[in-house]
Amino acid sequence: MARQPRLILPKQPHHILQRGNDRQLIFREREDYERFLGWLGESARFYRVAIHAYALLATHLHLLATPETEEGLAAMMQKLGRFYVPWYNGKYARAGGLFEGRFRTAVVDTDGHFMMCSRFIELAPVREGEAGEPAAYPWSSYRHHAGAHADAVITDHALFWGLGNTPFQREAAYIELVGQGIGTDELAQIAGAVQKGQPLGSQAFKRALEQKSGRRILPAKRGRPFKTPPI
């Protein structure tokens, strides 16, 4: 059976997950992260994809991004691979693919789920044991949002701007938001959505996506259909 195409919608945020093949390392040294971020920023600008949050971890990476076009997200990821993988292979004298098949993605509802997903991504280094706190990790967008480091890769979403009237207010509000952490249910919801390629959002959001995309998103009702309408 052919794979169902990814659900990618222009002007809508998406959570992207890309793992190393067989969970192998995709970043080993500072230069690796720096090279990848440079090409990420270049590819995102070229294909008109706004990067709102990211976390680069040793064996995988997360992005929160809004493509301007339906093709932009896949084109950006392909361009990244064409630059980074040959460079990485040459540096470490290896051959073959680096990433695990296709990247995974989930369309994100801006109403109540965008900020949750941003927190999920920027707290990933802490969950993975690569940092004691998000501010201590240099390879995520947290320090940008916390006001410690302006990151040229990031395009702030309107929801981030809505956190306050001044940079200080926005940064303080975001630090407090991330400080609340992510609950077990939220973790499962976000991880499940991106692994399955399902939208992350409310039932109303998913119903609207079904109408917009013409694809089944909500689970079908169980049981056999009635031969005649029930009385």
pLDDT-derived band at 147, boundaries 50, 70, 90: very high
CB count in 10 Å sphere of residue 96: 7
Please name the residues in contact with 117: beta carbons below 8 A apart, sequence gap of 6 or more. 13, 15, 53, 64, 108, 190, 200
- How would you write the chain as a 3-class SS string? CCCCCCCCCCCCCEEEEEEEHHHCCCCCCHHHHHHHHHHHHHHHHHCCEEEEEEEECCCEEEEEEEECCCCHHHHHHHHHHHHHHHHHHHHCCCCCCCECCCCEEEEECCCCCHHHHHHHHHCHHHHCCCCCCHHHCCCECHHHHCCCCCCCCECCCHHHHCCCCCHHHHHHHHHHHHHCCCCHHHHHHHHHHHHHCCCECCHHHHHHHHHHHCCCCCCCCCCCCCCCCCC
CA-based nearest residue to 146, from 173, 183, 166, 182: 173
pLDDT-derived band at 111, boundaries 50, 70, 90: confident
Q: Tokens 């395009």 appear where? A: 155
Whether 61 contacts 18, CB under 8 Å: yes
pLDDT-derived band at 229, boundaries 50, 70, 90: very low
Domains in the chain (CATH in brackets) are: 14-198 (3.30.70.1290)
pLDDT-derived band at 112, boundaries 50, 70, 90: confident
Whether 210 contacts 7, CB under 8 Å: no
Q: What is the mean pLDDT of residues 195-200?
A: 89
Residue count of the chain? 231
Residue 139: per-residue pLDDT? 98
Q: Name the pTM for this structure.
A: 0.90
Report the chain's terminal Cα–Cα distance, integer Å.
Answer: 39
Question: Taking 70 as the threshold, does the pLDDT of residue 118 lie above it?
Answer: yes
Residue 219: per-residue pLDDT? 62
User: In terms of pLDDT, which residue wins out, 27 or 230?
Assistant: 27
Q: What is the mean pLDDT of residues 186-199?
A: 92
Question: Taking 70 as the threshold, does the pLDDT of residue 4 lie above it?
Answer: no
